Structure 1
Amino acid sequence: MEYGYIFIETIYGFVALFVITKVLGKTQIRQLTAFDFISALLLGELVGNALYDENVNVLHMTLAVITWGGLMYLTEFITQRFKGSRALIEGKPAIIISKGKLDREVMKKSKLDINQLQHLLRLKDVFSLRDVEFAILENDGTVSVLEKTSAQIPIRSDLNLPDKKVVLPVTLINDGEIIQDNLAEINRDEQWLEQQIKHQNIKSIKDIFYAEYQEEEPLHIQTMS
């Protein structure tokens, strides 16, 4: 295969993908759903294979790009025109924390565990689940967070308040299991932990979905139910 022909196909593939991106609109980039991600991969794969396949010419590449780009545009048109199709094609947001309480069933359906949720919350500068009033898992995999009122109150710089020690919260129980390393990190043992959950009228650690420790605060517990 001549290098000049590869160069021409490469330029053509670049221009074709650029045009398709412009036609589909900016929301395809900023609101990348699972379907959009797969579509983008397949479109790139079609162009990539065409560049290095001697049996594929520019006409074949044009047909592949136009066909796949047309299907993506048609899908976008359908979701804009028919609201009922959006949940099927794009998915729909899921409320994973409601009024400060984790929804375990929604998390299971969304294939989201505690560690992933904590990571997404930290990206929103939220380091403790006890500060969250509502959290919504969006279609693109990000989390929108509404903090509790007490967590939203800013500290006034003109008040000469004593400096408060800032300590990150520590997860002690995750899905009914004790995280021993974290328990040792705060210099506590299982006996202390069992006493703490009994104070909140919980019989067994197996009944706890999530428990969070923060210094000078009561243990924050979410049960399985």
Structure 2
Amino acid sequence: MLLIAVRALILYLLLVVVMRLMGKRQIGQLQPFELAITIVIAELAVIPMSDTRIPLTNGIIGILVLMSVEIAFSLLILHSEKARSIICGTPTILIRNGKPDREAMRRVRVNINDLLEQLRSKEYPNMSDIAYAVLETNGSISVIPRADVKPPTARDLKVPVTQPGFPVSLIMDGKVNLRNLQIAGLTVDVLLQEANKQGIQDLRQVFFAQYTTEGKVDFILDERG
């Protein structure tokens, strides 16, 4: 039992490192070759994890080889448009100006019910409201609504707006993140002054603080006292 536990721990740690090196995309965002490699890597980890008769190195070598293949493919499609179209495919337009392209739907094997379901999930129940619907290479459907059904933007209304900044976490669990504080262009003294304005005397009382997109600091107190 101890041997199985050690093997499982080693393979688990290896998988965490491999998945971290392969990128941060979620399952629904993976290209077909990435999904296939992910599934095979999982199988390569499970077999030597449960069967002690199989050398641990068999699984480790297989996982590292597939990780190398995935990274090589990723670099290839990053620098070559032709390779990208061959390995990942190209987007397919399913709806043009409110009308489904039946030939394109037949080619990618998407039926009308699946298409309507995807549109409803994106809060577009009426097909006539769609300018274009595109089946992306990762299997998701992107929707571009008609101009007359989109809500007006500040640009449309010619209203001056201030561009938002990037939100930064300043305090987590009562601990000040000095690196993020520097990114926000603040100091500990300034942070404490902002806290004092909101009646907070000790930063250790703060569960979470964030530098918002509006350039303000929001504090959330630790209710546990």
Shorter-normalised TM range? 0.5 to 0.7
Residue 67 (structure 1) aligns with: 65
Unpaired stretches in structure 2, ≥5 consecutive residues: 153-225
Q: State the secondary structure of the residue aligned to 1:135.
A: strand
Contact 1:28–1:36 (8 Å) recurs in 2: no
Residue 21 (structure 1) aligns with: 19
CA distance, structure 1, for counterparts of residue 110 and residue 62 of structure 2: 36
1:146 positional shift = 1.2
Q: How does 1:1-225 map to 2 (within 5 A)?
A: 3-27=1-25, 29=27, 31-153=29-151
CA distance, structure 1, for counterparts of residue 85 and residue 34 of structure 2: 14
The percent identity for this pair of structures is 26
The amino acid that maps onto 1:122 is: R
Contact 2:97–2:128 (8 Å) recurs in 1: no
CA distance, structure 1, for counterparts of residue 52 and residue 25 of structure 2: 35
1:57 positional shift = 2.2
CA distance, structure 2, for counterparts of residue 47 and residue 127 of structure 1: 43
CA distance, structure 2, for counterparts of residue 76 and residue 97 of structure 1: 30
1:30 positional shift = 6.0
The amino acid that maps onto 1:146 is: I
The amino acid that maps onto 2:5 is: F
Q: CA RMSD in A?
A: 1.6
The amino acid that maps onto 2:42 is: G
TM (normalized to structure 2)?
0.63
Q: State the secondary structure of the residue aligned to 2:30.
A: coil
CA distance, structure 2, for counterparts of residue 51 and residue 110 of structure 1: 38
Unpaired stretches in structure 1, ≥5 consecutive residues: 155-225
TM (normalized to structure 1)?
0.63
Q: State the secondary structure of the residue aligned to 1:109.
A: helix
Q: State the secondary structure of the residue aligned to 2:139.
A: coil
1:123 positional shift = 1.4
Q: State the secondary structure of the residue aligned to 1:92.
A: coil
CA distance, structure 1, for counterparts of residue 92 and residue 77 of structure 2: 19
Question: Where do 4+ consecutive residues of structure 1 move more than 2 Å?
Answer: 27-31
Q: State the secondary structure of the residue aligned to 2:73.
A: helix
Residue 170 (structure 2) aligns with: none
1:23 positional shift = 1.0
The amino acid that maps onto 2:85 is: A
Q: State the secondary structure of the residue aligned to 1:18.
A: helix
1:8 positional shift = 0.9
